[in-house]
Amino acid sequence: MADAAVTSKGQITIPADIRRQMNLEPHDRVEFTVLPNGTTVMRAKKRSIMDLADSIKPRSGRSIPVNQLGFD
C-alpha cells in the first residue's frame, strides 16, 4: 500500500513502486473509476496504434484519414 498527497492543483505523484508495477512511463495516461462501494480503481490507459496514427500529420500540415494509412 502506498499513499500520495494531493496538491493545491489537485495533482498527485504516483509512487515509484506503483509506477514500476503498472509499467507506467512519462506521458502515459491513467483512468480512475469509482465503484459503487466507494473503492477507486486506477488503470493504466495505454495508447493504441490508432491513437498514435490520429496524432500524426504529414509535413505539409494536411491531415490524412487514418483509414488511408494502411493499418489493415
Residue 58 has pLDDT above 70, yes or no: no
Whether 52 is covered by a domain: the verdict is no
Whether 1 is covered by a domain: the verdict is no
List the domain range (segments joined by +) for residue 24: 12-47
d(CA 34, CA 63): 37
Residue 61 has pLDDT above 90, yes or no: no
Task: Say if CB 17 and CB 2 are below 8 A apart.
Answer: yes
**pLDDT, tens digit, for every residue of 7-48?**
999 999 999 999 999 999 998 899 999 999 999 999 998 777
Query: What's the number of domains the chain is made of?
Result: 1
